[in-house]
Chains A and B, each alone.
Chain A
Amino acid sequence: MKPFVRTLIFCAAIAGAANPAAAAEISMAANSTGKNLSFLREQIAKFEKDTGHKVNLVTMPPSSSEQFSQYRLWLAAGNKDVDVYQTDVIWAPQLADQFVDLTEATEDVAGAHFPSIIQSQTVNGKLVALPFYTDAPALYYRKDLLDKYGKKPPETWDELAATAKEIQDKERAAGNPDIWGFVFQGNAYEGLTCNALEWIKSSGGGQIVEPDGTISVNNEKAAAALERVKGWIGTISPNGVLAYQEEESRGVWQTGNAVFMRNWPYAYALGNGDDSAVKGKFEVKPLPTATDGDQPSSTLGGWNLAVSKYSDEQEASIAFVKFLGSPEVQKARAIELSNLPTIAALYDDKEVAAAQPFMPNWKPIFQDAVPRPSAVAKVKYNEVSSKFWSAVHNTLSGNGTAAENLELLEVDLTELQGNGW
């Protein structure tokens, strides 16, 4: 026994000597949407060089709902293997207890971020996550096709449908059988909640659950908005759009098979990549509204960085989070991936404007973006969202009318609400 123990101590001593005391090994869980992972790898290399820490990347699927349940499981089990999480904007109220309070650690930098975004990540006075980038979807349109048929970018949903139909039919007649008018995210998942919230809100139909807790979703304007979209399925949008998430719709768009697409800004840089069939042929504008008078509505998205309270390397993790949230990294992200920065000053940056000409115009859009009812529904938000997207998906796939499904949804949500959110 004794020689064994001696060897063990010896080994430990060697390992200790080889590792400088300050260097820590941390792991970060991040989604694999677009080029997120390759960007993070680049930045991690810089961070490792500067600090001597080592960062491992834990690859997660692109779907936000799938990441959430996995993270929730890990955090509930007190998992120490993952130190830093890339978190969706809606998760803060649900996971607040499991993350480190970043208020003090980020005192010096938090002021540079948009206050509304910092606010969205603050739960009971605790800063749960530091903003990484924000998101507000756009209407992507094929400028070349619109010019070809003498059309203007649409301002209302009906205009969009009419333009899409006309160009789609004419293009098909001209020998392009695969072209579709409009693609969006119609799969039954969190993304459909975002899409449908935009349709309803931009038609004056409220935002599912209002900030004061009232369940407002069962109204005529909301039903009309969903019926309008129902009319698109199979006419200007492929039937398969009901199984599309972001990446599937981008697939149709980027191969040149769609006139319009609703997607997040990340698709802008990818669409202008060298392997893209629509490179230089498209532009983006704010989403349409129901009538000219309505307010354009974009669902507020965005990702943030949180440190697990079970992490053994909290100090290094916080340093890493501050590094990723810094103006330099956010600027690189804006230029390379066309993600919207959360730091106000970057919108006036010349290099950003040169690389992403659309970006300076985006500042007002996401400042007025519609938040999903995650702050009011708190831990019940996922169920609210799931019931909402199911009602919408049922309507779009012809399983009941919008009015019927929304009425049922109201009953379900009222029962879920119980004595209060």
Chain B
Amino acid sequence: MTEVTVAGPPSAIAGKRIGSDLQAQRLRSAWIFLTPTFLVLAMVAGWPLVRTIYFSFTNASLTNLSAAEFVGLQNYLSWVTLKSGRTIYRGLLADPAWWNAVWNTLRFTVISVSIETALGLIVALVLNARFPGRGLVRAAILIPWAIPTIISAKMWAWMLNDQFGILNDILLGLGLISQKIAWTASPETAMIAVLIVDVWKTTPFMALLILAGLQMVPGDIYEATKIDGVHPVKVFWRITLPLIRPALMVAVIFRMLDALRIFDLIYVLTPNNTQTKTMSVLARENLFDFDKFAYGAAASTMLFLIIAAITVLYMWFGRVNLEGER
């Protein structure tokens, strides 16, 4: 590396060369500073990912990982044609439990992210207004987000308990329900319970990101609309929303990625419920509970691919530019 710098250019074109030299030097230092990050990323994210993908093509068992043999795509899809002429499909892509988990995850993601975006937007608009004690409220609203998910899930599990849970107690007291609801037990309410807790927990995060976007909107635009006498609702749709759209899109991406790989909340609240089993929960179950490590690895790989595909599609359709240029 040093040799390149020492081998100086002829003096005639020195001026131009100095400029490109500087650029090359900058590029080099950028790479030097980035290398440790890439190394760490490769170790903690890249290597496990490659291993997981590798195991998904083997017949690995958790008891003896080193004895894994290559089996091709068998964990994903394989078929045998019986003598009767009937073809039987096996593997992840033919497994109804997997597609149920995919459906659960997508349903959860769409519903939770929509509600969180709407609520987050409202909260952000309120917090953007000037009122006494605003700093305190802004800090207080972050509390649900600050509590570790495992703890808030356990806390909600007790609050949602059918016999001595506070939620049923309040609803009964208000006369909204006549019978105690078994929130996490019955198939109709299990997903609702999970959604309630997730919305409670992550709305502050959405609000925070949207609030940051709101604060970028210059105040003089609003002053101008006031002078022109534009209706506040029209101001919101025509001015505020288009201007915070980039921030909103990024916030939605973050939430969506999180929601698609949701695990901890469901694992604590409704661990084995068919109605709430997501892709991550199913992958873990196969990896560790059952003797199907390779199958679980295949589920994890599919989860990775699905999330990647959805993210790319979203960014393409939404024309989100993460590099900050429009």
Q: Give the shortest distance, in Å, between B261 (CB) and chain A (any CB).
A: 18
Interface string of B274-291 (1 = CB under 8 A from A): 100000000011001111
- Does A178 belong to the interface (CB within 8 Å)? yes
Interface string of A55-96 (1 = CB under 8 A from B): 000000000011011101100100000000000000000100
Q: Report the Cα distance A394→B187, complex, angstroms.
A: 9
Which of B111-119, B159-167, B240-248 has 4 or more CB atoms under 8 Å from chain A?
A: B159-167
Q: Report the Cα distance A389→B290, complex, angstroms.
A: 14
Interface centre among A94, A239, A386 (most CB of B within 10 A): A239
- Does B271 belong to the interface (CB within 8 Å)? yes
Q: Report the Cα distance A241→B161, complex, angstroms.
A: 10
Residues of chain A contacted by B285 (CB below 8 angstroms): 386
Task: Check if B288 sits within 8 Å of A239, measured CB to CB.
Answer: no
Chain A residue with Cβ nearest B290: A383
Contact with A386, one of B65, B161, B270, B272 (Cβ below 8 angstroms): B272
Q: Report the Cα distance A40→B181, complex, angstroms.
A: 38
- Does B63 belong to the interface (CB within 8 Å)? yes
- Does A33 belong to the interface (CB within 8 Å)? no
Residues of chain A contacted by B273 (CB below 8 angstroms): 188, 393
Residues of chain B contacted by A186 (CB below 8 angstroms): 185
Residues of chain A contacted by B164 (CB below 8 angstroms): 251, 255
Residues of chain B contacted by A243 (CB below 8 angstroms): 162, 182, 184-185, 270
Task: Check if B291 sits within 8 Å of A69, measured CB to CB.
Answer: no
Task: Check if B272 sits within 8 Å of A240, measured CB to CB.
Answer: no
Interface centre among A240, A241, A380, A397 (most CB of B within 10 A): A240
Task: Check if B65 sits within 8 Å of A76, measured CB to CB.
Answer: yes
Task: Check if A240 sits within 8 Å of B62, measured CB to CB.
Answer: no
Residues of chain A contacted by B162 (CB below 8 angstroms): 238-240, 243
Q: Report the Cα distance A398→B184, complex, angstroms.
A: 15
Contact with B163, one of A76, A188, A251, A394 (Cβ below 8 angstroms): A251
Q: Report the Cα distance A396→B193, complex, angstroms.
A: 19
Task: Check if A252 sits within 8 Å of B182, measured CB to CB.
Answer: no
Q: Give the shortest distance, in Å, between A408 (CB) and chain B (any CB).
A: 10
CB contact list, B154-210 vs A, under 8 A: 161-164, 180-187
- Does B292 belong to the interface (CB within 8 Å)? yes
Which bucket holds chain A's interface residue count?
Answer: 35 or more
**Would A383 and B182 be within 8 Å (CB), given that A189-B271, A251-B164, A398-B187 are in contact?**
no
Residues of chain A contacted by B185 (CB below 8 angstroms): 186-187, 239-244, 397
Residues of chain A contacted by B187 (CB below 8 angstroms): 397-399
Number of interface residues of B (CB under 8 A): 28
Residues of chain B contacted by A283 (CB below 8 angstroms): none
Q: Give the shortest distance, in Å, between A411 (CB) and chain B (any CB).
A: 11
- Does A379 belong to the interface (CB within 8 Å)? yes
Task: Check if A383 sits within 8 Å of B292, measured CB to CB.
Answer: yes
Chain B residue with Cβ nearest A396: B185
CB contact list, A206-257 vs B, under 8 A: 238-244, 248, 251-252, 255, 257
Residues of chain A contacted by B182 (CB below 8 angstroms): 238-243
Task: Check if A382 sits within 8 Å of B290, measured CB to CB.
Answer: yes
Task: Check if A69 sits within 8 Å of B274, measured CB to CB.
Answer: no
The number of inter-chain residue pairs (CB within 8 angstroms) is 92
Task: Check if A72 sits within 8 Å of B62, measured CB to CB.
Answer: yes
Task: Check if A97 sits within 8 Å of B63, measured CB to CB.
Answer: yes
Interface string of B246-284 (1 = CB under 8 A from A): 000000000000000000000000111110000000001
Contact with B186, one of A383, A389, A397 (Cβ below 8 angstroms): A397
Q: Report the Cα distance A186→B297, complex, angstroms.
A: 30
- Does A291 belong to the interface (CB within 8 Å)? no
Task: Check if B180 sits within 8 Å of A240, measured CB to CB.
Answer: yes
- Does A390 belong to the interface (CB within 8 Å)? yes
Task: Check if A69 sits within 8 Å of B272, measured CB to CB.
Answer: no
Q: Report the Cα distance A383→B292, complex, angstroms.
A: 9
Residues of chain B contacted by A97 (CB below 8 angstroms): 63
CB contact list, B53-84 vs A, under 8 A: 61-63, 65
Q: Report the Cα distance A394→B272, complex, angstroms.
A: 11
**Would A187 and B272 be within 8 Å (CB), given that A238-B163, A242-B185, A251-B164 are in contact?**
yes
Residues of chain B contacted by A65 (CB below 8 angstroms): 289
Q: Report the Cα distance A103→B145, complex, angstroms.
A: 52
Q: Report the Cα distance A397→B292, complex, angstroms.
A: 28
Residues of chain B contacted by A390 (CB below 8 angstroms): 272, 274
Chain A residue with Cβ nearest B157: A243
Q: Give the shortest distance, in Å, between A123 (CB) and chain B (any CB).
A: 13
- Does A98 belong to the interface (CB within 8 Å)? yes
Residues of chain B contacted by A244 (CB below 8 angstroms): 185
Residues of chain A contacted by B184 (CB below 8 angstroms): 240, 243
Contact with B63, one of A70, A76, A178, A382 (Cβ below 8 angstroms): A76
Residues of chain B contacted by A394 (CB below 8 angstroms): 274
Chain B residue with Cβ nearest A240: B162
Contact with A252, one of B163, B271, B274, B284 (Cβ below 8 angstroms): B163
Task: Check if B288 sits within 8 Å of A69, measured CB to CB.
Answer: yes
**Selected A-B contacts with CB under 8 Å, 10 pairs:** A66-B271, A76-B62, A240-B162, A242-B186, A380-B290, A383-B292, A389-B272, A393-B272, A397-B186, A397-B187
Binding site for B on A (CB under 8 A): 65-66, 68-70, 72-73, 76, 94, 97-98, 178, 186-189, 238-244, 248, 251-252, 255, 257, 379-380, 382-383, 386, 389-390, 393-394, 397-399
| 8 closest Cβ pairs, A-B complex | A240-B162, A240-B182, A243-B185, A188-B272, A239-B182, A242-B185, A69-B288, A379-B291
Binding site for A on B (CB under 8 A): 61-63, 65, 161-164, 180-187, 270-274, 284-285, 288-292
- Apart from A69-B289, A382-B290, A386-B289, what 18 extra A-B contacts exist at CB < 8 Å? A69-B288, A76-B63, A178-B163, A188-B271, A189-B271, A240-B162, A241-B182, A242-B182, A242-B185, A243-B182, A251-B164, A383-B289, A383-B292, A390-B274, A393-B272, A394-B274, A397-B185, A399-B274
